[in-house]
Amino acid sequence: MIAKTIRAAGLSGALAAGLALAAVPAEAAGTARTLTCAGADGLFTIASRYVERTKKTGVRRQFKAEFEVDHAVAGFGVGRTVVFEVADVVVARRALKRQADGSLAAEVQFDDERGALPATFPAIAKGTTVEAVVGGRTVLACALR
């Protein structure tokens, strides 16, 4: 299921804050390109941000994706693995962790300045899909815009 609209309503504070930062126009950062997406269906939320900055020393790429599960969803518990896929390529596997509000969340974050993105990390463009996969099925996805 792919969220077709970016909605901040109903997202946790951390997800909403991440989206607020992502809302800064790319022009404000000089030669930066920022793509974001978010989706929610009442039980699950997903948010992602990709930033590409051109610098004198090359291109810096940053990627972040967060997946959150409501308090009590059957089949989801602490330690359950979430597979993050970008353009149908697995980029990370992370375990769900309990949050202060009782929800569960998993997050992946990459930054070229803190280490290379995975060798299999795909090229990113408008419309690239970010998915949270649990137990072999896509739980929620959004398209970067």
Please tell me whether residue 18 adopts helix, strand or coil conformation. helix
CB 136 within 8 A of CB 81: no
For the entire predicted model, the pTM comes to: 0.79
Residue range 93-139, pLDDT digits in tens: 999 999 999 999 999 999 998 988 998 999 999 999 999 999 999 99
Instruction: Supply the pLDDT for residue 12.
Output: 52
Q: Scanning the structure block, which residue is given the tokens 């803190």? A: 114
- The C-alpha atoms of residue 95 and residue 62 are separated, in whole angstroms, by 21
- The neighbouring-strand residues paired with 65 are 48, 108
Q: If DSSP states are collapsed to H, E and C, what string results for 99-144?
A: CCCCCEEEEEEEECECECCCCCCCCCCCCCEEEEEECCEEEEEEEC
Residue range 46-84, pLDDT digits in tens: 999 999 999 888 899 999 999 999 987 888 999 999 999
Please tell me whether residue 99 adopts helix, strand or coil conformation. coil
